[in-house]
Chains A and B, each alone.
Chain A
Amino acid sequence: MVNTLPYLSFIPAHVLMGFAILFFFLAKAVPFLRRLPASLIFFLVMAGAFWLETMGSGSKAVFFDMIQVDSYSRLYNQIFFIAIAVTILMMVNNDEINEEINWEIYGLLATVCLGMMLMTSATNLLMTVVAIELVSIPSYVLVALNRKLPVSKEASLKYVLFGSFAAGIMVYGMSLIFGLTGTLDFAGLWKGLGAYSSAGTAIYFLAILMTISGMVFKIAAVPFHFWCPDAYQAAPTPITAFLSTAPKVAGLALLMRFFSYHLTIQKADLTLILSILAMATMTIGNLAALRQSDIKRMLAYSSISHAGFLLMGIAVLNATGRGVVFFYIPIYLLMNLGAFMAVIYLSQGDRFDIASYAGMVKKKPLLVVGFTVCLFSLAGLPPFAGFIGKFYLFKVVIEEGLYLLAVVAAVNSVISLFYYIGVIKVMIIDTEDRPSKDVQAGGFPVVFVTACAISIVFFGLYWVPLLNWADKVRLLF
C-alpha cells in the first residue's frame, strides 16, 4: 500500500477546501459554530485558497497519476475562487435566498469548488467522472434552493435526470474507450486510439463523442444544453450567475486538458468534431436567445452561445488556442457576473421578463449604464473587453485556416447583437406603460456593476495584464 499522505503537500488548496466542506456541514449541527458569520468565513477560505494557489509552483502528478497539478490547474483554480467570492458578495446582497440556510449553501459551494479543482487537474477518465459528479450533484441542490417554489423543484429534477442521462452516455463512452485501448489515462488512451487499427471507423468516433458528452454537458454545449435555460431560470440569481460561469470554465479546462494529449495524426479529425460542436452550439444558442422574453432565459441562451465561441479556441488544439480561451475567461466572468448582478436589482420581485425593464434608465441610470456596458461587451462591440476576447478567438481560428468556423462565428456575432440591443432598447428608449413601485437599489450593486463596467472598458482599451496572465497558462509534457 502506497502512502498517499505526503502528496497532500502538493495540493494545499484541495486540502483547505476539504476542511471547509467538513466545517460547513458540521457547523450546521454545532450551535456554537452557527453563530459565526458564515459568509465572512467562506470569503476568507476563498482568499486563503487563492493565496495558496498563487504560492504553488512546479508540475507534479499525484494520487497514482490521477491528477496533475501544474500552472494550468492553479490558474484556473484561481479563477474559480474569484468567481465564488463574487457569488458570495452577490448572495449577501440578495433577498431571494433565506439566510438561515447559508451554512448548507456554503458547504455545497465548497463541494462544487473541490469538484471543479479536480476537473482542472484530472488526467484520468475515472477521476473525470468523480470530478464531474462532484460538481453536478451539489449543483442540482443549489438550483432547488428556493425549495418552496414548485418551479425550482421541477427544474432541479429535470437537471438531475438530464445530468444522469449525460453521465450515463459518458460512462458508456469510457467503457468503449477502455475496451479499445485498455487504459483510462489521458495520455495512454490517445496513444492507444492512435494505434488502434480501425481508427476513423464509426466506433472510434462514437467512443470519443460519447466520452466528451459529460464535459459538453457541463459547459452546456449542444446537444447537452437543454437543462440550461430551465435551471438558470428557476435558480436564485446569484446561483444562476455562478452556474453560468465557474462550472462552465471547469468543463472547458477539462476538455482542453483531455484533448491536449492527442497525437498529431488525430488532429484534423478532432478539430472537425470540435468545430461542428462549436458551430452548432453558437447557432442554436443564438437563435433560441432571439425568441426569449425572460431575461434570465435570454442570458442562459447567451451563455450557451458563448460556450460555442469558447469552443472555437479549443478546436484549434494548440497552446495559442488554450491561451486565448484563458484570456477570454476573466472577461466573460466580468460581463456575465456584472449582467446578472444588474438583473438582480433591475428586476422587481420575481418578475424577470424583459418588458418589465421599460424606461428603467430613468429610475436607475447608473445601473442601466453598467448593464448596457456588460451587454455591449457580451455582444462583442469595441471598445469593450468582449471585443478583444472575440478578436483573439477569431485570430487563432483564422490562423489555423478554419474559415468556415470563423464565418459562422461572425454571422452569429451579428445575430447576437440583435437580442442584446433589444434589451438595451427596452431599458433606454421604451417608456413604461404603467408606473410600478420603485425598488431602491442599495449602494453595493451599483458599485459592483459599475466596477465590472469600468473593468470591461479598461480591459477593452488596455488588455496587456490579461495577456500576461494568460501567457502563464502552460500545460507541461
Chain B
Amino acid sequence: MSYIQSVIPFVPVLPFFGALFLGLFGKKIYARFGENVTGILGCSMPFISAVLAVTSFIAINGVDVTERIIRIPITDWVSVADLQLQWTFRYDPLSAVMLLVVTIIGTLIHIYGMGYMHGDKSFSRFFAYMNLFLGSMLMLVLGDNIIIMFLGWEGVGLCSYLLIGFWFTEEANAIAGKKAFIVNRIGDLGFLTGILLVAYFSMTLFGTTDLSFTELQSNIDVLAGQTVFGFPLLEVIGICFFIGAMGKSAQIPLYVWLPDAMAGPTPVSALIHAATMVTAGVYMMGRVFFLFTLAPHALGFISLIAALTCFFSATIGMAQYDIKKVLAYSTVSQLGYMFLAMSVGAFSAGVFHLLTHAAFKACLFMASGSVIVALHHKQDMREMGGLLKKMPVTGYSFIAATLAIMGFPLTSGFFSKDEILWKAFIQGSPLLWLVGFVAAGITSFYMWRLVFMTFFGETRADKHTWEHCHEQPKRTVVPIAILAVAALTIGFWNVPHFLGGHGNFTNFLDPVVHDLSSKPMENYHKIQLAKQADHQPEDTHGAAVEHEEHVDHTALEWGLMLASVAWTFFTGFLAYIFYIRYPKAREKIMSRAAAQKVFAVLYNKYFVDEFYEAVVITPLRKLFGFLGAFDQMVIDGMVNFAGFMGRITANLVGIFDDEIVDGAVNGAGWSAQTGGKGASSMQSGRIQTIVASSLIIFIIIVASVVLFLG
C-alpha cells in the first residue's frame, strides 16, 4: 500500500465529511462560536485535502513513468447481471493535475469566502455547500468509471444550483439557479445517452462490464467497428459526451446559464463558474481522449462549436458594464479555447489552458469580488474608477491576472494560449487560428477596458461610497495575491520546444493523454491504414504514429507568436486610448448610428435569450399546456378509473367484512342476546366466522390448484 493509495480516498471524503458536519451542526456552531470558528472549520477539510493532493503529486513524480496510473479499489458497488460496478478511484497524472487545481484553488477560495461572506446570516450554509461542491468535484475527477464520474457530475450540478440561488429570497437569483439547472439537464441528457450507449455495447459485446476508463480504452478498437442506426458508434458517443460538456462547460448553444449564474456569491463564481466545475467538460474529454481520437467527425463538430463560442462570447464581453458579466463571458470564451485545443487533438494544451485559466480567472473573480464588497455591492463599472489608489493589492493582482489572460509574454496565459493557437493553425486550419487570433485581441481589449474603467481614471462613484471604500482584510486579499503570483508564473511548467523548453507538462500527462501528431482526420486515416496493414496495434492511440516527415516549423511558430503578441498589445492600447487617453474619440465613434446598433446587439448578447424565449420556451409552454390538458383528460382519467376500480374492489372486500363476517358476528350476537345467553358469546361467534372464512378460502385455493393442475 503506497502512500498515494492510502491517502487518495480521503481527498474527496474529507470535504463530504465537512459538508455533513457543517450541514448538521453548522448553524449551532455559528450561533455559539461565531464566524471565525465556523469559517475555519469550513476551510480545514479543503485544506487537509489540498495537503494530501500536493504530497500525492510529489509522490507520483517519484514513481516510474510506466506505473503512474494508480487504481485504488475501495469496494464493490452494484453487481447486477452483466454490470459489475466498483467504487474505485483513479489517480494518474491527469487527475493529479485536476486535484491540484481543485484543492488548492478551492482552499484559497474558502479562505477568501470567510472574508467575503462576513456578516451573512447563512454563513455556515455557505461553507456546507462549498464543501459539498469540493467533495463532488473531487469524486468527478477521481472516479475510475463513468458512473462515478457521472455521480460527481450531477453532484457539482446540484451544488451549482444551490449556490447560484444562495440568496434565494430574491426572485432573480432563484430564477438564475433554475435556469442553470434546466440547461444543464439538457446537456446531461446527452451525456447520459452516451454513457448508456457505452454500457449497452460493452455488455452485449464483452459479456460483463465495469464501465471503467481502463476497460473502455482496452476495448475501444472493438467498439470502433460498431454502428448505431448506421452511424459509427464512437462518433455518436463522442457527440453525446460533448453535448454533456456543452451544458456543463457553457458552450454554444447551452452557454446561456453561465452569465446568469453570476447571481451567486462571488467566491462561488470564482470556484465553480470559472476555475473548476465549468472545466469538467474539458477534463472529461481529456479522460476519454482515446475515444475522440477515433471520432474525427465529432472533433470537427467540436472545433466549429468551440471557435464560434470563443469568438462570439468575446464580442459580447466588450459591451457589458457589469464587472462580473464581463468576466463571465470571458470565461465562456476561454472555455472555447480549451475545446478548440481538444478538438484539434492537442489534449495536453487544452488541459494546460484549463490549469492556467483556473489560476488567472479565479484571481480576476476574487479581485472583482473584493471591489464589489468595497463599493457596497455595486457591480456596474460605470460607477467605478480610480480604485487602484484605494485598493493597491487587489488592483495590482487584477492587473497581473489581466496580463496573464491577454497573453503578455512569459505569463501563464502566453504559454497556454499560444500553444493552442499554434496547434489550431497546424492541426486544425488557418481559419480556426484566425478566429482564435481575433478573439485573443478582443479579449485583450475588453480586459483592459475593464481594468481602466475600474482601477484608473477619475472615480465615478458617489462621494459617500468613495470615502468608505478601502482595501479588504488580509483573509480576502492574500489569496488573491497568491493566485496573481501563480497566474504570472505557472506557465513555465510547459515552455514549448521552440522557446528552449521541454514541454514538461505535456510529458507529465503523456502516460495517460497522448496528443495527436497530425490533423485528427489524417491521424484517423493513418490508424485505419495501419490497421489494414495489420502491424503495430498500439498505433491506434495516435502518439505512436511516427512522424514521416519532420518539417521545421520554428520560424512559423515564432511568426505566429509575435503576431498575436503584437495584436493583443495593439487592442490593449486601443482600450487605453478609448478609456483613458481620449475618451472623446470613443464618444465620437459611439455617436454614429451604426456603431450604436452594433453596440446594442452586443449589449443584448445577440438577443439569444429572447430568441430562446420565442423559439424554444414559448412553444414548449404551449406544448406543456397541451400535455397538461391531455394529462387531465386521458391519463388522470385512466388513473381515476383505476382508482375507482380499486375502490370498488376494496369496498367489496369491505362489504364482505362488514356484511358477511360482521353480519355473522352481529347475527350471532343478536341470536345470542335473544337467546338470553349474554353478550360474551359475541366473541365466539366471530372466531367461528373467521375460521370458516379461512376454511372457505383454503378450499377455494385447493380447488383452483386441483383444477389447474389435476
* Chain B, residue nearest A269 (CB): B709
Does B205 count as interface, using CB distance less than 8 angstroms? Answer: no
In the complex, the answer to whether A202 meets B710 with C-beta atoms within 8 Å is: yes
Does A222 count as interface, using CB distance less than 8 angstroms? Answer: yes
Does A264 count as interface, using CB distance less than 8 angstroms? Answer: no
| CB neighbors of A among B370-414 (8 A) | none
**Chain A CB within 10 A, most for which of B649, B696, B702:** B702
In the complex, the answer to whether B691 meets A462 with C-beta atoms within 8 Å is: no
Contacting A276 at CB < 8 Å: which of B650, B657, B701?
Answer: B701
Contacting B702 at CB < 8 Å: which of A209, A226, A280?
Answer: A209
Stretch with Cβ within 8 A of A (4 or more), from B76-84, B96-104, B422-430, B554-562: B76-84
In the complex, the answer to whether B701 meets A277 with C-beta atoms within 8 Å is: yes
What residues of B have a CB within 8 angstroms of the CB of A467 in the complex? 79
Give A281 Cβ to nearest chain B Cβ, in Å: 11
Does B653 count as interface, using CB distance less than 8 angstroms? Answer: yes
Question: Contact string, B680-694, partner A, CB cutoff 8 A, digits 1/0?
Answer: 000100110011011
What residues of A have a CB within 8 angstroms of the CB of B649 in the complex? 287
In the complex, the answer to whether B687 meets A158 with C-beta atoms within 8 Å is: yes
Give A136 Cβ to nearest chain B Cβ, in Å: 16
* Chain B, residue nearest A209 (CB): B702
What residues of B have a CB within 8 angstroms of the CB of A464 in the complex? 75-77, 79
* Chain B, residue nearest A162 (CB): B691
Does B698 count as interface, using CB distance less than 8 angstroms? Answer: yes
What residues of B have a CB within 8 angstroms of the CB of A165 in the complex? 691, 694
Main SS at interface, chain B: helix
Measured in the bound complex, the distance between the Cα atoms of B646 and A415 in whole Å is 8
Does B704 count as interface, using CB distance less than 8 angstroms? Answer: yes
What residues of B have a CB within 8 angstroms of the CB of A158 in the complex? 683, 686-687, 690
In the complex, the answer to whether A272 meets B683 with C-beta atoms within 8 Å is: no
* Chain B, residue nearest A461 (CB): B77
Contacting A200 at CB < 8 Å: which of B79, B695, B698, B710?
Answer: B710
Contacting B698 at CB < 8 Å: which of A154, A201, A223, A288?
Answer: A223
Does A326 count as interface, using CB distance less than 8 angstroms? Answer: no
Does A10 count as interface, using CB distance less than 8 angstroms? Answer: no
Does B708 count as interface, using CB distance less than 8 angstroms? Answer: yes
Question: Contact string, A63-81, partner B, CB cutoff 8 A, digits 1/0?
Answer: 0000000000000000000
What residues of B have a CB within 8 angstroms of the CB of A269 in the complex? 709
What residues of B have a CB within 8 angstroms of the CB of A290 in the complex? 646, 650
Does A157 count as interface, using CB distance less than 8 angstroms? Answer: yes
Given contacts A201-B710, A205-B709, A226-B694, contact A291 B702 (CB under 8 A): no
Question: Contact string, A153-184, partner B, CB cutoff 8 A, digits 1/0?
Answer: 01001100110010001000000000000000
Does A40 count as interface, using CB distance less than 8 angstroms? Answer: no
* Chain A, residue nearest B708 (CB): A272
* Chain A, residue nearest B690 (CB): A226
Does B1 count as interface, using CB distance less than 8 angstroms? Answer: no
In the complex, the answer to whether A154 meets B683 with C-beta atoms within 8 Å is: yes
**Chain B CB within 10 A, most for which of A158, A169, A222, A226:** A226
Does B63 count as interface, using CB distance less than 8 angstroms? Answer: no
Does B706 count as interface, using CB distance less than 8 angstroms? Answer: yes
Give A287 Cβ to nearest chain B Cβ, in Å: 5
What residues of A have a CB within 8 angstroms of the CB of B706 in the complex? 202, 205-206
Does A364 count as interface, using CB distance less than 8 angstroms? Answer: no
Give B291 Cβ to nearest chain A Cβ, in Å: 29
Does A267 count as interface, using CB distance less than 8 angstroms? Answer: no
What residues of A have a CB within 8 angstroms of the CB of B695 in the complex? 223
What residues of A have a CB within 8 angstroms of the CB of B710 in the complex? 200-202, 205
In the complex, the answer to whether B705 meets A162 with C-beta atoms within 8 Å is: no
What residues of B have a CB within 8 angstroms of the CB of A276 in the complex? 701, 704-705
* Chain A, residue nearest B87 (CB): A462
Measured in the bound complex, the distance between the Cα atoms of B549 and A362 in whole Å is 78
Question: Contact string, A392-421, partner B, CB cutoff 8 A, digits 1/0?
Answer: 000100000000000000000001000000
Does A224 count as interface, using CB distance less than 8 angstroms? Answer: yes
Give B635 Cβ to nearest chain A Cβ, in Å: 14
Measured in the bound complex, the distance between the Cα atoms of B700 and A222 in whole Å is 11
Measured in the bound complex, the distance between the Cα atoms of B697 and A157 in whole Å is 22
What residues of A have a CB within 8 angstroms of the CB of B704 in the complex? 276
In the complex, the answer to whether B701 meets A209 with C-beta atoms within 8 Å is: yes
What residues of B have a CB within 8 angstroms of the CB of A284 in the complex? 653
Give A396 Cβ to nearest chain B Cβ, in Å: 12
Measured in the bound complex, the distance between the Cα atoms of B701 and A477 in whole Å is 31
- Interface size of A by Cβ–Cβ distance < 8 Å? 35
In the complex, the answer to whether A462 meets B650 with C-beta atoms within 8 Å is: no
In the complex, the answer to whether A205 meets B702 with C-beta atoms within 8 Å is: yes
In the complex, the answer to whether B690 meets A288 with C-beta atoms within 8 Å is: no
Contacting B705 at CB < 8 Å: which of A161, A209, A213, A222?
Answer: A209
What residues of B have a CB within 8 angstroms of the CB of A222 in the complex? 697
Measured in the bound complex, the distance between the Cα atoms of B708 and A247 in whole Å is 32
Given contacts A209-B701, A222-B697, A223-B698, contact A287 B76 (CB under 8 A): no
What residues of B have a CB within 8 angstroms of the CB of A161 in the complex? 687, 691
Does B654 count as interface, using CB distance less than 8 angstroms? Answer: yes
Does A439 count as interface, using CB distance less than 8 angstroms? Answer: no
Measured in the bound complex, the distance between the Cα atoms of B701 and A284 in whole Å is 14
What residues of B have a CB within 8 angstroms of the CB of A395 in the complex? 80
* Chain A, residue nearest B702 (CB): A209
* Chain A, residue nearest B649 (CB): A287
Give A49 Cβ to nearest chain B Cβ, in Å: 30
Does A273 count as interface, using CB distance less than 8 angstroms? Answer: yes
In the complex, the answer to whether A223 meets B683 with C-beta atoms within 8 Å is: no
* Chain B, residue nearest A399 (CB): B81
* Chain B, residue nearest A223 (CB): B697
Measured in the bound complex, the distance between the Cα atoms of B693 and A222 in whole Å is 11
Give B92 Cβ to nearest chain A Cβ, in Å: 26
Measured in the bound complex, the distance between the Cα atoms of B639 and A415 in whole Å is 12
Measured in the bound complex, the distance between the Cα atoms of B699 and A169 in whole Å is 12
In the complex, the answer to whether A287 meets B709 with C-beta atoms within 8 Å is: no
* Chain A, residue nearest B661 (CB): A226
Measured in the bound complex, the distance between the Cα atoms of B66 and A322 in whole Å is 47
In the complex, the answer to whether B646 meets A462 with C-beta atoms within 8 Å is: no
What residues of B have a CB within 8 angstroms of the CB of A462 in the complex? 75, 77
What residues of A have a CB within 8 angstroms of the CB of B690 in the complex? 158, 162, 226-227
In the complex, the answer to whether B650 meets A291 with C-beta atoms within 8 Å is: yes
Given contacts A161-B691, A162-B691, contact A273 B705 (CB under 8 A): yes
* Chain B, residue nearest A158 (CB): B687
Give A234 Cβ to nearest chain B Cβ, in Å: 12
Given contacts A269-B709, A287-B649, contact A226 B693 (CB under 8 A): yes
Measured in the bound complex, the distance between the Cα atoms of B647 and A290 in whole Å is 9
* Chain B, residue nearest A280 (CB): B701
* Chain B, residue nearest A268 (CB): B709
* Chain A, residue nearest B691 (CB): A165
What residues of B have a CB within 8 angstroms of the CB of A277 in the complex? 701
Question: Contact string, B637-662, partner A, CB cutoff 8 A, digits 1/0?
Answer: 00000000010011001100100000
What residues of A have a CB within 8 angstroms of the CB of B705 in the complex? 205, 209, 272-273, 276
Give B701 Cβ to nearest chain A Cβ, in Å: 6
Measured in the bound complex, the distance between the Cα atoms of B700 and A284 in whole Å is 14
Question: Contact string, B44-86, partner A, CB cutoff 8 A, digits 1/0?
Answer: 0000000000000000000000000000000111011000000
| CB neighbors of B among A212-265 (8 A) | 213, 222-224, 226-227
* Chain B, residue nearest A395 (CB): B80
Measured in the bound complex, the distance between the Cα atoms of B649 and A269 in whole Å is 29
What residues of B have a CB within 8 angstroms of the CB of A273 in the complex? 705
Give A320 Cβ to nearest chain B Cβ, in Å: 12
A-B contact pairs, 28 of them (CB 8 A): A154-B683, A202-B706, A205-B705, A205-B709, A209-B702, A209-B705, A213-B698, A222-B697, A223-B696, A223-B698, A224-B694, A226-B694, A269-B709, A272-B705, A272-B708, A272-B709, A276-B701, A276-B704, A277-B701, A280-B701, A287-B649, A287-B653, A291-B654, A395-B80, A462-B75, A462-B77, A464-B76, A467-B79
A residues adjacent to B (C-beta < 8 A): 154, 157-158, 161-162, 165, 169, 200-202, 205-206, 209, 213, 222-224, 226-227, 269, 272-273, 276-277, 280, 284, 287-288, 290-291, 395, 415, 462, 464, 467
- For the complex of A and B, list the 10 residue pairs with the smallest distance between their C-beta atoms, beginning with the closest: A223-B697, A226-B690, A223-B698, A202-B706, A223-B694, A464-B76, A158-B687, A205-B705, A290-B650, A287-B653
